């Protein structure tokens, strides 16, 4: 950081403290105390809740300095990547949440855990656009819960190919659960969704009363097979495969998988 920033509003200090001291995913009380001590910051409310404790520490220090430089230093120490060597997904989670708040003061936490200058947001929509993450975009798209249940950790770790793999596996696992068939891959899809010789699949996504509806059923079966061929089978055959998957491709794949799950929500057995 160059010259000190103007003092942050109380709301900004409180929101940043809320992320770092979150009940489920924030620093522990001991970690907060150790960092405040290490950085020479007063701890006015050591017995208060973590959020109130850290908020008051931030307020007291900014009042003393007339700028938020020491709060920025606290963020940098809290986001030091080595702290997250065993839980990289936690780093990404905190980074995303901090960036949505820091956008209002023209800052962001980069992948090195450092606080750098960025675009300043004036509205909630601008802050969301500036700080948006894959996780936030999936929530905005109302992605099916089955997709998020299978690949949330991979998304947070930014392991895009493996997120696609886990999401695709969720379809096959669900087909097994819904049909009781123990197969896998194309064999499983045929047993669950294919019209076959009888023209009656185990799971029908419509009434199958017209050729259009039958084509739709076949189309879903082919889509599931295609997703398996693209993202599931390669890893099964070569566990060292590490194909690059962009953010855009990841969103497209997870959106398709979500659509498949929604069609399965309404199947007739």
In DSSP terms, 111 is beta-bridged to: none
Q: Cα–Cα distance between 158 and 163 in angstroms, integer?
A: 8
Give the start-end residues of each E strand in the chain: 107-109, 115-117
pTM of the entire predicted model: 0.60
Please check the confidence at residue 183 and state whether its pLDDT lies above 60: yes
54 CB-contact burial (10 Å; exposed 0-12 / middle 13-18 / buried 19+): buried
Task: Give the model's pLDDT for residue 115.
Answer: 95
In the predicted model, is pLDDT for residue 214 greater than 90? yes
- Give mean pLDDT, residues 182-187: 88
User: What pLDDT was estimated at residue 241?
Assistant: 53
Q: What average pLDDT does the segment 15-27 reach? A: 96
Tens-digit pLDDT profile for residues 157-181? 777 888 888 999 999 999 999 999 8
Tally the residues of the chain.
Answer: 269
Each residue's pLDDT tens digit, 28-84: 999 999 999 999 999 999 999 999 999 999 999 999 999 999 999 999 999 999 999
Q: CA 102 to CA 94: how far, in whole Å?
A: 12
The answer to whether residues 27 and 87 touch, using CB atoms and an 8 Å cutoff, is no
Average pLDDT of the chain?
89
Q: Which two tokens stand for residue 127?
A: 């802050």
Asked if pLDDT for residue 138 goes beyond 80, the answer is: yes
Q: How confident is the model at residue 2 (pLDDT cuts 50, 70, 90)?
A: very low
pLDDT for res 56: 98
Cβ partners under 8 Å of residue 243, min gap 6? 161, 234
- Cα 68 from Cα 126, distance rounded (Å): 23
With a cut of 90, say whether residue 234 has pLDDT above it. no
pLDDT tens-place string over residues 141-156: 889 999 988 887 777 6
């Amino acid at each position: 950081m160059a010259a000190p920033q103007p003092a942050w509003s109380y709301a900004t200090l409180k929101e940043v403290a809320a992320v770092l001291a979150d009940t489920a995913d924030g620093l522990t009380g001991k970690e907060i105390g150790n960092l405040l001590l290490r950085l020479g910051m007063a701890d006015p409310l050591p017995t208060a809740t973590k959020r109130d404790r850290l908020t008051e520490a931030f307020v007291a220090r900014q009042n003393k300095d007339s700028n938020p430089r020491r709060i920025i230093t606290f963020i940098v120490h809290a986001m030091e990547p080595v702290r997250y060597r065993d839980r990289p997904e936690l780093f990404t989670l905190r980074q995303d949440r901090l960036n949505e708040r820091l956008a209002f003061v023209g800052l962001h936490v980069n992948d090195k855990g450092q606080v750098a200058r960025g675009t300043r947001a004036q509205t909630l929509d601008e802050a969301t656009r500036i700080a948006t993450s894959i996780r936030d975009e999936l929530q905005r798209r109302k992605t099916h819960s089955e997709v998020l249940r299978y690949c949330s950790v991979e998304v947070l770790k930014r392991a895009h190919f493996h997120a696609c793999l886990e999401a695709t596996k969720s379809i096959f696992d669900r087909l097994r659960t819904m049909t009781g068939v123990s197969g896998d891959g194309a064999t499983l899809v045929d047993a669950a969704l294919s019209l076959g010789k009888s023209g009656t699949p185990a799971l029908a996504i419509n009434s199958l009363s017209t050729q259009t509806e039958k084509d739709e059923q076949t189309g879903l079966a082919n889509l599931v097979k295609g997703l398996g061929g693209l993202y599931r089978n390669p890893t099964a055959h070569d566990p060292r495969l590490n194909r690059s998957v962009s953010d855009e491709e990841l969103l497209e794949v997870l959106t398709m998988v979500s659509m498949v799950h929604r069609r399965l929500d309404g199947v007739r057995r």
